Copies of this chain bind each other. A is one copy, B any other.
Amino acid sequence: MDTSPTTRSSSTRLDPYVDRYAARTAGMTQSEIRALFAVASRPEVVSLAGGMPNISGLPLDVVSGAIDGVVRDHGTVAMQYGSGQGMLELREQITEVMRLEDIDAHPDDVVVTVGSQQAVDLVTRIFCDPGDVIICEAPSYVGALGVFRSYQCDVVHAEMDADGLIPDALRAAIAGTRAAGKKIKFLYTIPNFHNPAGVTMSLERRHEIVQICEEEGVLILEDNPYGLLGFDADPMPALRSISSENIIYLGSFSKTFAPGFRVGWALAPHTVREKLVLAQESATLCPPQFSQMAIGAYLAQHDWQGQIKQFREMYRERRDAMISALNDMMPAGCHWNVPAGGFYVWMTLPQGINAKAMLPRAVTARVAYVPGTAFFADGFGSSAMRLSFCYPTPERIREGVRRLAGVIEEEMELRATFGATERLDTLPMGNETPSTDTQ
């Protein structure tokens, strides 16, 4: 035992339990996003790092009225234990929400979860043994990669382009994995306004991806927190609208209403749904009844679709502010996409600049982002970063981009002076004709 705690910091002191943890616990490490939160949340830092929705536009009087009705009229139900599957009334409302993406579903096949993060966890729990493979887009959602790692799964990335996951890349990933004698448990995909890549899968691709997975017997885990947050057009049909078998669809109220209730859901084929309910009962007994009734009352009493429209307009304004600022200020050699919805822009840096290594200098310059490596299971992405436009005001976004452009320019000058010292990763996306201009 360490008897001199004052001589060691908490992060370096010995862990007396180090030999007792499960093998999976070695894969549980702080994500690069989480580690950033402490600094990025200081008020002087413009955070382009977090994915927090901006909920300042929510009508608190409406929410207050809805929730007060829940407490006064149904308090002893709302504060009681509930079903592991979630409340039927809310599951019926969820099927209405999904209808906006052409999904025809029965409430019996919906399982309410503690945010859609928990849905990713429960799906992985019921399907994946250590060493099983999950195919993910390159890049992919950091929180899902963390779940997959915690279940000791192997992630195989398949590349995307401006139309989303590339069918040939998926075919190659499936074939390569099977040739290596490994089991593929599912494809994890975010078809709409991808986190972090910002791209959306085209309609044609959707059909092709669904068909490939049916032919190959690969289950699809369709994660769709942002689908209703398109700026320019109606929602795209979900993959789940193309086929009701072989696809588990995940939805969330975190971005269309508010994340603090932690209510998401999984829509799954009947037999899978039964397993998910058992897993939910084991994990939490039941999702929070109070949260479910609060959301149910909000949906019933408020023009929630009108609220989503307001959110879309607010986020579009911020997307426009970011793209305009990037156009105006980023040095040559930086590349980014223009997302048609959601929260994120994916930017690749001039050759030889490492986004992770640069981060401390950016934070010193009072701007934060998430380095691209957070979104890969395999160390790629060091020349890229995710820029979030969801939370700061347009003015702050512009200021943040200004600061970031300055940091990148300094970095380029340093490199021009001293030359490249770091190995370059192959950029998995967005590196069309990498610029050789390091000035």
Contacts and interface: CB of A to CB of B under 8 A. Distances in A.
A433 interface: no
B17 A117 contact: no
Given A150-B279, A282-B121, A64 B68 contact: yes
A7 interface: no
A281 B31 contact: yes
A42 interface: no
A304 interface: no
22 contacts: A10-B270, A16-B271, A17-B269, A18-B271, A21-B275, A25-B126, A25-B275, A25-B279, A34-B281, A58-B75, A58-B79, A60-B75, A63-B79, A68-B68, A82-B260, A114-B288, A115-B284, A125-B150, A143-B282, A146-B282, A260-B289, A283-B283
A385 interface: no
Interface in A51-91: 52-53, 55-56, 58, 60, 63-64, 67-68, 71-72, 75-82, 84
Interface string A247-266: 00000001000111110000
- Most chain B beta-carbon neighbours within 10 Å: one of A71, A126, A127, A282: A282
Contact of A71 (B15, B55, B64, B284): B64
Given A67-B67, A80-B258, A118 B23 contact: no
Contacts of A13: 271
A336 interface: no
Contacts of A80: 52-53, 55, 258-260
Nearest to A146: B282
Interface in A281-326: 281-291, 294
Contact of A114 (B60, B81, B284): B284
A196 B81 CA distance: 18
Contacts of A79: 55, 58, 63, 258-261
B283 A118 contact: yes
B75 A71 contact: no
Interface of A: 10, 13, 15-18, 20-25, 28-31, 34, 52-53, 55-56, 58, 60, 63-64, 67-68, 71-72, 75-82, 84, 114-115, 117-118, 121, 125-129, 132, 143, 146-147, 150, 185, 219, 245, 254, 258-262, 269-272, 275, 278-279, 281-291, 294
B143 A28 contact: no
Contacts of A286: 262
Nearest to A258: B79
Contacts of A31: 281
A76 B52 contact: no
Given A80-B258, A114-B284, A127-B20, A28 B279 contact: yes
A72 B271 CA distance: 43
Contact of A52 (B56, B58, B81, B254): B81
Nearest to A254: B81
Given A67-B71, A282-B28, A283-B117, A126 B82 contact: no
A147 B80 CA distance: 22
B282 A147 contact: yes
Contacts of A289: 259-260, 262
Contact of A20 (B219, B262, B287): B219
